[in-house]
Structure 1
Amino acid sequence: MMPIKFPFCGLTASTVFIGRNSRGNWVAREHNGLFGGVFVNRDQAFKYALFKNGRHLEAIVELAHEIHLDIFADPQSAGTTHVLLEEIEQLNSASVHEG
């Protein structure tokens, strides 16, 4: 997916996806995984997305399906980062259930 280009001013805004993860938290994630966050409610996810993409509401897409936070500085390392984030999530889940 390509960033949205605005012909009237030459700006480019990053598309940000918003939706819920498997735990019911709200996730905002830039389409290339360059930034994102996990939020308690939808309003906070939208505020973050607007802040990070230069206040371009038209570049925010709310998804009906599950979304996960995959953030990586180098898109080539996406697979490795995804595995690490899953491992961290599993460890966090295990520690919550234990104590």
Structure 2
Amino acid sequence: MKLVEPPSCNQSTAALVFVGRNRSGQWVAQERNGLYGGLFVSRAAAMKYALFENGHHPETIVELSRAIELDTEGRLAPVGILFGTGKRPVA
């Protein structure tokens, strides 16, 4: 029997996950609020991870054309970047 880690989001609604490349060309997948994320060698691996973590809801995955860096400190704010402000919201 293969053990599988359960999805990080046990919510009734699927989490928004951003997928894109960082400045080094690696693929990044990260939940909007920084709850989970990772670096991947391929787009397919990043998408597979995003789908697994968000409960298999492809409609909640946003592929970014701009660079996205993996935020390991929970400060991810791509919404501001997406709308061109370039500013992170103050918590």
1:52 aligns with 53
| RMSD over aligned Cα atoms | 1.8
TM-superposed CA distance for 1:71, in Å, is 3.0
Where do 5+ consecutive residues of structure 2 fail to align? 1-10, 77-91
Q: Percent identity?
A: 56
Which has the larger Rg? 1
TM-superposed CA distance for 1:24, in Å, is 0.2
1:32-90 per-position Cα deviation (integer Å, ceiling 9, x unaligned): 01100000000000000000000000000000000010134xx5xx39xxxxxxxxxxx
SS at match of 2:13: strand
User: 1:16 & 1:34 partners in 2: Cα distance?
Assistant: 10
SS at match of 2:52: helix
TM-score, scaled relative to structure 1: 0.62
TM-score, scaled relative to structure 2: 0.67
Taking CA–CA contacts closer than 8 Å with sequence separation of 6 or more, which of the two structures ends up with the larger relative contact order? Answer: 2
Query: Which of the pair is proportionally richer in strand?
Result: 1
Query: Which of the pair is proportionally richer in helix?
Result: 1
Q: Measured at CA, do residues 40 and 25 of structure 1 come closer, stay the same or move farther in structure 2, by a change above 3 Å? A: same
TM-superposed CA distance for 1:11, in Å, is 2.5
2:7 aligns with none
TM-superposed CA distance for 1:23, in Å, is 0.4
Q: Is the 8 A contact 1:19 1:27 kept in 2?
A: yes
